[in-house]
Structure 1
């Protein structure tokens, strides 16, 4: 009997199609301007750690992707393609991976199934942001040097997509267990971090990995990633030629595009206001379903997109769009902009002066302030507490705040459940238990075909909307710009701070 689990498989054809995924498609410029093989990139935040086990991934992949190969990758449409693994087979009880032979890390040690096992076990045991993705992996078995099997304690339909991010980045065994992996990484990617030439919090320099076999990925002799937190400063550095590529602040798009730079957009993050403290431990008002639903109806998403994001986003009331199999056709609560309904719900709650707090920093502060204004207009006070850049992820996992405004890159409901809905999920800091949601999740995992599984996930997401456990706001479009000398750029969904450098030349 087919159970709908094993059909996502990448064979030799998939490998051939993806080996040069970053090399030629999506090139943003027709210019043939010759470069000098160096590339300077400006980015918004400092790297949290070069250890994939401790790095939150997503946007931070810009720092890690040159150094590490991930077991799987995504293409320009966000679909899973071959990475280090040339093929995979997923069943309810295992994920089996086939590895290439003859690969080595930058320090010359073999990259084989045993090394993959050591890396996965390191990431899982570190209990960092990536460990949740591997929570269902009960054992990593080595069948032979080219085959590794991840044994699962429960079905894990989102595991392949998780392995395209930091959970699937393979660290050299020689670097595991030391104290300097976070600052002196060892991987098998096309480039290596030049620790001596780098300056923490200022800039990070990369040079070619001489052990990397596919030279077509190594179009650059030297890469420098500069930490430029100010949007105007990044734009100025782009315009003056001090840097060659950067994520562009929306207020600077016109200035950058008028300077003759290539500017394109990629699907960025989905933004939500997660109301984590539904038990009312920190913010008693959030224990009221009426208050949580009122928050959803109070916010004018379209106005925020127009005023704060210059129209460079899509307002939405759910994570997954109409093109997704997880899209809910009819939500139990639509959360269209309806301030009068919000006021009625606040009144019905019987809670005088409801309030809660959220953390914010630079890029999230204007959005938080816009949401704050709409909530204040219906009688709800959302206090904004500014936190240091780079600490927002940590705060979102703490019980310091009743809710948090967060950009996410979630592409599967299983990730949402594991991260935000499961009682032990890292983004469920108050340990909220939701029996109905748990039941729909169990139904999805037990489904014998994909259609039934998708339907169960839809019911789970509809229940989330009805309970207003989070309020969906918009999915943004991320502007990235680069100089005309830079060729071979492929933008990918979720890579908001800059694309993969594989196949890029300058």
Structure 2
């Protein structure tokens, strides 16, 4: 059993800051094993940190985003998931060590055989419309994610829940078809929506949750307006009166909005522009070093000659990951041939460096497969940071005789193509899900899903290993061996070619405090405030 969720946060992990030094910019080396809260309330306890003012009530926080809210993707993790935790709560939230902490679930207990879990739910919680939160809402949330129309990445985990036993309004037993080791990944991912208005939610007409803010207006193409939930279940929270999401797709306009204070928070600044903002006295740049995202090159294995893994391996040897990290991403992240951050139990240095930049070897592999030149399309999201990654990949592949034509695509269409397996021969995007239980990546993430992935890669061996890893509880030798087999398959088959692991990079006004992200990049502003 667990302790109750505290009403005030504990000091989370350290803040990493970039500042101008002697007229130049100092880029600190960033590991991927620590930082969860970029700007924590406990920051005054950090060595060398400025003392902060006591939290104050009031003010409007304006958040700059580079793509609009897409209601149809409400239940899928994507680049527009920031607003999820503002409107909706989840059952739990992870700490830095993947230990679940209470949110709408206050405690839980597994059966000894791992085939059921008893949840005790928070009392006194209401939706924005005043309706009480009960066990029926959790049952609906699970069944909602089981619906393939919702395109939820953790659908397989939700589907493993095959029965429900209510013990009053605030206790619920979940019965499992088989043990799964990522049930709490589902609980942090699964937003608890209103079962009576879910169709209005996916149409963008009404978002009714239990979260700290209420949606007052969605202006398509412009952004979201949220106001304080005066009936929030955490006493005296949130501090902020309102939150505005403002869509600013162009890099120059985004930089200007942050410099001038028109916006106070963004996670969408292209890596190559971060050094410019580092010198600004009123801004703080921080990295969430959970490895919650990674840039990758996707390969459609049904398009010849990419159905030959020798060709795919050639592409993996032909990309200069370190150059992309330094020149395109501003030095934030970790060049890696695998999806795993250093905090993952699946991480190994040998696997991370399995593919290094070796254009000579790449050309030799292409030649052995009967090719000296290839001409292929490469889809990418038409935002500055994503375009820069695609251009870097285009340049590197040209050096080995692979000429790609860039296909810029808006974020919503790219995500829908990802889900529907409608990608061209090559694409570059970002993926998540390597930052939680390793089995979740291969069971749930669209690029890696063993049953139906975007690359259309099929392998009986891959499916067998993934399923065994997913249903093996504990952290013993068997679990380690299965994780290694998944990694070995990803490297050998190269249907997804990882490039750089990186967490979210936050640019915030110095007066903004108490901001956190969860493992799925849901923004948590329960304890956020604007000082001064």
Deviations 1:277-334 (A, max 9, x none): 32x3xx2111111101111111111111111112122111212244432124644991
Pair 1:261-2:283 in alignment: yes
**Alignment partners' CA distance in 2, 1:485 and 1:17:** 19
CA change 1:329–1:221 in 2 (3 A) is: closer
Name the counterpart of 1:144: 168
Which of 338, 342, 345 lines up with 1:318 in the alignment? 338
Which of 240, 245, 249 lines up with 2:270 in the alignment? 249
Pair 1:432-2:457 in alignment: yes
- Give 1:82-481 correspondences, 5 Å limit: 82-90=102-110, 92-125=114-147, 127-130=149-152, 131-165=155-189, 168-178=190-200, 182-195=204-217, 198-247=218-267, 248-257=269-278, 258-267=280-289, 268-275=292-299, 277-278=300-301, 280=302, 283-328=303-348, 330-331=350-351, 334-351=354-371, 353-361=373-381, 362=383, 363-397=385-419, 398-410=421-433, 411=435, 412-418=437-443, 419=445, 420-422=447-449, 424-425=451-452, 428-429=453-454, 431-445=456-470, 447=472, 449-451=474-476, 452-481=478-507
How far is the alpha carbon of 1:164 from its aligned partner?
1.2
How far is the alpha carbon of 1:186 from its aligned partner?
0.3
Asked whether the equivalents of residues 86 and 98 of structure 1 are also in contact (C-alpha less than 8 Å), the reply is yes
Asked whether the equivalents of residues 217 and 504 of structure 1 are also in contact (C-alpha less than 8 Å), the reply is no
**Alignment partners' CA distance in 2, 1:173 and 1:29:** 45
Which of 13, 22, 41 lines up with 1:24 in the alignment? 41
**Alignment partners' CA distance in 1, 2:136 and 2:438:** 31
Structure 2 unaligned spans of 5+: 13-36
CA change 1:19–1:183 in 2 (3 A) is: farther
CA change 1:345–1:229 in 2 (3 A) is: same
Structure 1 unaligned spans of 5+: 1-9
Asked whether the equivalents of residues 178 and 471 of structure 2 are also in contact (C-alpha less than 8 Å), the reply is no
CA change 1:99–1:58 in 2 (3 A) is: farther
**Alignment partners' CA distance in 2, 1:68 and 1:466:** 40
Q: TM-score of the superposition, structure 2-length normalised?
A: 0.82
Alpha-carbon RMSD = 2.9
CA change 1:467–1:332 in 2 (3 A) is: farther
Asked whether the equivalents of residues 214 and 226 of structure 2 are also in contact (C-alpha less than 8 Å), the reply is yes
Which of 471, 482, 491 lines up with 2:508 in the alignment? 482
Asked whether the equivalents of residues 92 and 104 of structure 2 are also in contact (C-alpha less than 8 Å), the reply is yes
CA change 1:307–1:180 in 2 (3 A) is: closer
Asked whether the equivalents of residues 15 and 86 of structure 1 are also in contact (C-alpha less than 8 Å), the reply is no
**Alignment partners' CA distance in 1, 2:128 and 2:178:** 35
How far is the alpha carbon of 1:353 from its aligned partner?
3.0
How many equivalent residue pairs?
A: 483
CA change 1:367–1:445 in 2 (3 A) is: closer
**Alignment partners' CA distance in 1, 2:305 and 2:456:** 17
**Alignment partners' CA distance in 1, 2:78 and 2:102:** 18
SS for the counterpart of 2:305 is helix
CA change 1:445–1:206 in 2 (3 A) is: closer
How far is the alpha carbon of 1:269 from its aligned partner?
1.4
Name the counterpart of 2:18: none
Deviations 1:199-249 (A, max 9, x none): 222131111212212134310112111111122212211221212222233
How far is the alpha carbon of 1:264 from its aligned partner?
1.7
Greater Cα offset, 440-449 or 97-106 = 440-449
**Alignment partners' CA distance in 2, 1:205 and 1:29:** 31
SS for the counterpart of 2:243 is strand
